[in-house]
Amino acid sequence: MYQMGDPMRLKSQQKSLVMLLGAGSLFLLAFFLVPLLFVLSESFVGDDGVVTAARYMAVLVDEQFQNVYVRTLKMALVVTVIAVFAGYPTAYLMMKLKPSRKAMLMSLVILPLMTSPVARTYAWIVILGRYGIVNQTLSVLGMTKEPIRMLYTEGAIIIGLLQLFLPIMVLNLVSALENVPNEVEEAALSLGSNKVGTFFRVIVPLSFDGLIMGVTLVFTGCITAYVTPAILGGAKVLTLATLMRQQALVLMNWEAATVIAVVMILTTLVLHTVMRRFRPRNQV
């Protein structure tokens, strides 16, 4: 029933909502959009103050940048694909467990996210180092005569990034699978579909939104990650983030570093825009 106090209460709620949105918008504007626009504008200003794209041409035609850019995208793609194939079965099986076991596994998935990426990455040095656990095990088993070089390779970075971002993929898939009714799967099985067909024809399409979100977060996270590539790749295997740091702090080439930063931002924005087109049309 309509009451006289409803308009006043509605106006108060709208005012509170505007205040909350305003505070968040001002924060993003001051600490995200303004610095981003500053970096973007600086990348088009030459030494003489004239607007030019010379800096982009100098960086984009550089062979080192091209190799690093392709390597970064390649490693991000490999990590994302492995995360999808490892995360989907994990998330699906977790949804089939009892609530108590599911809660325990969710805690184990979240636990790495509560640990510093630096600590997690340094742990891989102990495992993959020249005298690490893997090399010592292979030596004891007589499978190798000399230590295998595992650190400062693309494979080491891929392993580190996978450990870093796999929990994010699993959490997104679990969140999406929770919205899939059990009756849908049971109905598909009762109509003659097998479990594999039901998974790919029913479960995956209904949880596709979580898959797209997970792919976006993992891929963009791999492109912009710095700590893991810096520790496990060193100066031998550069990524966009480590190349930007090298240009800015080692070579003092801030102009090139600015261009690389803009390229990273544009790459993530393009990926996000493309992935949104694959989301179900009934999703916002």
Q: Domain spans of the chain?
A: 56-276
Confidence class of residue 283 from pLDDT cuts 50, 70 and 90? very low
pLDDT digits (tens, 9 = 90+) for 210-257: 999 999 999 999 999 999 999 999 888 999 999 999 999 998 998 899
pLDDT digits (tens, 9 = 90+) for 91-137: 999 988 888 888 898 988 888 888 888 888 889 998 998 888 888 89
Worst-scoring range by mean pLDDT, 67-76, 166-175, 270-279?
A: 270-279
Q: Model's pTM, two decimal places?
A: 0.85
Average the pLDDT over 277-281 and give the result. Answer: 71
Supply the pLDDT for residue 82: 97
Supply the pLDDT for residue 5: 52
For residues 1 and 193, the model is more confident at 193
CATH of 56-276, one of 1.10.287.110, 3.40.50.300, 1.10.3720.10, 3.10.20.740: 1.10.3720.10
pLDDT at 153 over 50: yes
Q: Between the CA of residue 129 and those of 26, 38, 102, 164, what are the distances in Å?
A: 46, 41, 35, 19
Supply the pLDDT for residue 2: 46
Supply the pLDDT for residue 158: 96
